[in-house]
């Protein structure tokens, strides 16, 4: 049985080769070439509980040399994954999904421990991970080619073409701390089913879950070297795998600050960048106020606001602002915050001290510039209370900067035109939400907003990826989602066939 304590790492014997143990502290290894290896430097870094700040475990401090070794293993293993029939790749992922279900309690424990997720959200992430795997396998059956007849164009009248989708080769995947199980599988699963090898670097705040995921895929029968996991600093490990010319694609989810530097480092290769967001909820006069308050609150506080698609500002028309703010105040006051293992907790700790400092500074800046603090505004350890700010001026940093915490600034606007202008003025373009009962207003605004996704009468939520997800402007490039992720991880090859040698010219068809 899993320990009831959620500030320790408890694992079954099947995961014993993933780590060493010293003085009761687990020291996790690197996964390179199908082997669990200790870092050559002998150095490790601490993985701390966001809830208690005690050291949960240590992870290997991978080096540039070990990242290069992982790339070499991936390059030399490409034939292993390509030689597997698609049905065999599918069966490996099906078995991995079964093993995740078998060890679900342990995965939930780690998500609560190293990411500070409330139990309900940890369980939801495990479920979503398995569902994403299942649906990705269905999408793998749709990696079809295409036949293009040539006789529609004069210069190809005696030709036809077959268009194939083929694997990129080696893909570097880099994931953030906020969904440490789901984000890796959302990249790794489509990469594998489409015949690629992977070098994966997880966030240093939450590396353990990725290592357990690699062990599960290994146990499910994935050939050695097809998946490699190197933990360590982004400036060394991350930059190495991004810039190496043997890597054909980079799939990165993380901050705009880091992601914006990737194209220059990567050179000419496929890039998928899912970066920051500043989702605005535009609330119009004809709204269902109860629905808007409920959905906006959930959009702010889910995962403690540590989501790129979180609602992080509400643009509310003046005529209904007082009524909506009153309902939001009641809704925010009901949100339970605390340690993530406590019953009913919806908001747990932020990931680290730097994150807490950032959120605190944004709230303090807004209040100093005239915003009204209606709910929250205090912290307990790394737990930041659900916070509601009203009458936030546009001069406040929180009107424009990504918050990544459970805070909602309400910005009052004269009309929908002003709301659109403020929303589009942002450098980010990931998500927006519109709350209205008018189809025509919704349609007009949705087409005008400069974002990747518009949610109507709901908070942005991308779930298992049934709809495509991604941004414009500083929010990145490319799309994740069922089918769309596979597109990002394959390349098109066109085979043009000349029919003239077979005597199948135009003249041959004359009567």
CB 64 within 8 A of CB 236: yes
Number of helices and strands (H, E) in the chain? 16, 26
DSSP string of 496-507?
EEE-GGGT--GG
State yes or no: is 197 an active-site residue. no
Q: Coil, strand or helix: which one is 346? A: coil
CB 327 within 8 A of CB 390: no
State yes or no: is 40 an active-site residue. no
Cα distance between residue 459 and residue 510, in whole Å:
62
Cα distance between residue 12 and residue 309, in whole Å:
35
Q: Which are the contacts of 384, defined by CB distance < 8 A and separation ≥ 6?
A: 304, 347, 350, 356, 359, 360, 376, 378, 405, 406, 407
Q: Which helix (H) or strand (E) holds 78?
A: helix 78-82
CB 171 within 8 A of CB 486: no
Among residues 73, 139, 274, 401, which one is catalytic? 274
Q: Where are the strands (E) in 98-145, listed by range? A: none
Among residues 308, 385, 402, 488, which one is catalytic? 308
- Cα–Cα nearest to 342, from 118, 126, 125, 109: 118
Q: How far is CA 501 from CA 1, 108, 154, 496, 498, in A?
A: 70, 63, 18, 14, 7
CB 214 within 8 A of CB 135: no
Residues that are catalytic? 274, 308
């Amino acid at each position: 049985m899993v320990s009831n304590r959620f500030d320790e790492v408890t694992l079954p014997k099947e995961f014993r080769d993933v780590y060493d143990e010293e003085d009761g502290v687990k020291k996790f290894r690197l996964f390179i070439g199908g082997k669990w290896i200790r870092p050559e430097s002998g150095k490790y870094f601490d993985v701390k509980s966001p809830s208690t700040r005690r050291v949960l475990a240590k992870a290997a401090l991978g080096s540039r040399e070990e990242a290069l070794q992982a790339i070499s293993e991936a390059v030399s293993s490409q034939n292993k994954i390509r030689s597997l029939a698609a049905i065999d790749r599918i069966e490996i992922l099906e078995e991995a999904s079964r093993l995740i279900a078998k060890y679900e309690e342990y995965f939930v424990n780690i998500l609560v421990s190293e990411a500070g997720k409330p139990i309900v959200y940890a369980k939801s992430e495990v479920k979503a991970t398995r569902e994403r795997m299942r649906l990705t396998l269905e999408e793998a059956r749709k990696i079809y080619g295409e036949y293009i007849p040539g006789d529609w164009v004069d210069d190809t009248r005696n030709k036809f073409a077959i268009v194939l989708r083929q694997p990129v080769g080696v893909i570097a995947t880099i994931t953030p701390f906020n969904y440490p199980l789901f984000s890796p599988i959302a990249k790794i699963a489509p990469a594998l089913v489409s015949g690629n090898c992977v070098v994966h670097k997880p966030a240093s705040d939450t590396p353990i879950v990725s290592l357990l995921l690699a062990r599960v895929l290994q146990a499910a029968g994935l050939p050695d070297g097809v998946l490699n996991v190197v933990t360590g600093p982004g400036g060394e490990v991350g930059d190495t795998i991004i810039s190496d010319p043997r890597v054909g694609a980079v799939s990165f989810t993380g901050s705009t600050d880091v992601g914006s530097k990737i194209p220059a480092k990567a050179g000419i290769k496929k890039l998928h960048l899912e970066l920051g967001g500043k989702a605005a909820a535009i609330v119009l006069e004809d709204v269902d106020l109860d629905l808007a308050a409920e959905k906006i609150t959930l959009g702010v506080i889910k995962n403690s606001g540590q989501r790129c698609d979180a609602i992080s500002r509400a643009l509310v028309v003046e005529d209904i602002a007082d009524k909506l703010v009153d309902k939001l105040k009641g809704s925010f006051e009901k949100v339970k915050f605390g340690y993530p293992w406590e019953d009913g907790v919806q908001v747990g700790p932020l990931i680290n001290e730097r994150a807490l400092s950032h959120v605190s500074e944004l709230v303090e800046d807004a209040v100093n510039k005239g915003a009204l603090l209606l709910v929250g505004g205090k912290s307990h350890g790394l737990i930041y209370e659900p916070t509601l700010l009203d009458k936030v001026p546009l001069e406040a940093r929180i009107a424009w900067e990504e918050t990544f915490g459970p805070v909602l600034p309400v910005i009052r606007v004269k009309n929908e035109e002003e709301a659109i202008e403020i929303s589009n003025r942002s450098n980010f373009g990931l998500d927006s939400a519109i709350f209205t009962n008018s189809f025509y207003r919704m349609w007009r605004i949705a087409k005008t907003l400069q974002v990747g996704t518009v949610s109507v009468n709901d908070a942005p939520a991308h779930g298992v990826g049934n709809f495509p997800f991604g941004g414009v402007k500083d929010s990145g490039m490319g799309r994740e989602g069922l089918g769309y992720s596979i597109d990002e991880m394959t390349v098109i090859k066109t085979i043009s066939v000349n029919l003239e040698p077979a005597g199948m010219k135009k003249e041959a068809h004359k009567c």
